[in-house]
Chain A
Amino acid sequence: MSDTSIDRVAKATPPSVAAKIRGLSDRAIAWIFVLPTIFLLLAVNIFPLIWTINLSFTNFRANRPNREVDYIGLRNYERILTDEDIWLTMQATAHFLFWTILLQVLIGFTLAWLINRKFKGNDLWTTLIVLPMMLSPAVVGNFWTFLYQPQIGLFNYGISFLTGIDPSSFQMIGDVKLAPWSIVIVDTWMWTPFVMLICLAGLRSIPDYIYEAAEIDRASQWRQFWTITIPMVLPFLMLAVLFRGIENFKMFDLVVQLTGGGPGSVTELTSINLKREAFEKWRTGYASAYAIILFVTVFGLASIYVKALNKVKER
């Protein structure tokens, strides 16, 4: 009978090592398997976090590594939290987060609800709707800059067709009032399919017999929607909001490609601002404090959200 690979490894193990392993408990062997992963997590996640916290109390600049580093206490945090420009950046992020999540949930759920009603060409429509999500954010940002062009852009012509306004009379990207909405529209266009897919999974997980029972009880369509569909899709919706919320809080590539944070700094989201502080102004200590503030915010929100999600699942 031929040897298996396990037999070959067992035979190749030196007797002294084999004797040592034979003496180990199951728990010890389990630790041997788990330790490399723990070590990797510590090296990749925990160490950079602790290092960033450490840097946030210093005036370190990464472009001058040989300069003496001074510990300046909480001064970086104090500067950030009294800086009106960063406050405006936070407001721009809040505007972007609120409207993208609201629109994506509303449109995504509606699309999922429509797709879930089986009709001819259902699969084709699903594929077409999901396409934007599969594109690279850099590509999306680039071609939407063309769509937003006042002279040749299809978007302006579409608005002109619907409202009668001259297409060259407004600039989505160049206008201070319209630019924040331009990034909301593009992100909604790109990521609504993601929310739709999650909602569709939720809708398809509802067993038909629940609706049949409701029909027998003469529950109206409206009542079925509010008392069966919404409560059963809610955990999925909350998951989608969590994913999109965290992703949009650190949104970078799409907005950089589309507006570059402009005009002025009206579309400068926190991640763009943070990158400028860290890698254009090279204020590493300051940027570390900024990153810690954002990290604590996202971590806190995620904690609440996971708790809420577990509660909804328990119902």
Chain B
Amino acid sequence: MSDFLHGLTRFRRGSWELLASVLIAVGVVMLMQPLVLWAYTYSFIVTLTGTVMFIVVSHFPD
């Protein structure tokens, strides 16, 4: 956990990619879940944030 936080503060690729991946996964689950409509409504913005973040952070140093 501390490695992850350390990577975030130092703008390291691994930690930020993990964060972006989690955002994308959460967005997709929100899009396809059958339980609450508000989660579906906000799913796109979560997925889009994760995807854009993934593209940007994949250029960070390892």
Contact = CB atoms under 8 A, between A and B. Distances in A.
Interface of A: 77, 81-82, 84, 87, 90-91, 93-94, 293, 296-297, 299-301, 303-304, 307
B32 interface: yes
B40 A300 contact: no
B5 interface: no
26 contacts: A81-B40, A81-B41, A81-B43, A81-B44, A82-B41, A87-B40, A90-B31, A90-B40, A91-B32, A94-B32, A94-B33, A296-B44, A296-B47, A297-B27, A297-B47, A299-B51, A300-B24, A300-B28, A300-B50, A303-B20, A303-B24, A303-B51, A304-B21, A304-B25, A307-B17, A307-B21
A77 B17 CA distance: 27
B28 A301 contact: yes
B48 to A, nearest CB: 5
A274 to B, nearest CB: 14
Contacts of A301: 24, 28
A90 B31 CA distance: 7
- Interface size on B, as a range, is 20 to 34
Nearest to A82: B41
Contacts of B40: 81, 87, 90
Contacts of B50: 300
A272 B26 CA distance: 25
Contacts of A296: 44, 47-48, 51
Given A81-B43, A87-B37, A93 B54 contact: no
A300 B54 CA distance: 8
Interface of B: 17, 20-21, 24-25, 27-28, 31-34, 37, 40-44, 47-48, 50-51, 54-55
Contacts of A303: 20-21, 24, 51, 54-55
Given A297-B31, A307-B21, A82 B37 contact: yes
Contacts of B17: 307
Given A296-B48, A300-B50, A307-B17, A90 B24 contact: no
A299 B27 CA distance: 12
Nearest to B35: A91
A76 to B, nearest CB: 12
A245 to B, nearest CB: 11
Contacts of B32: 90-91, 93-94
Contacts of B31: 90, 297
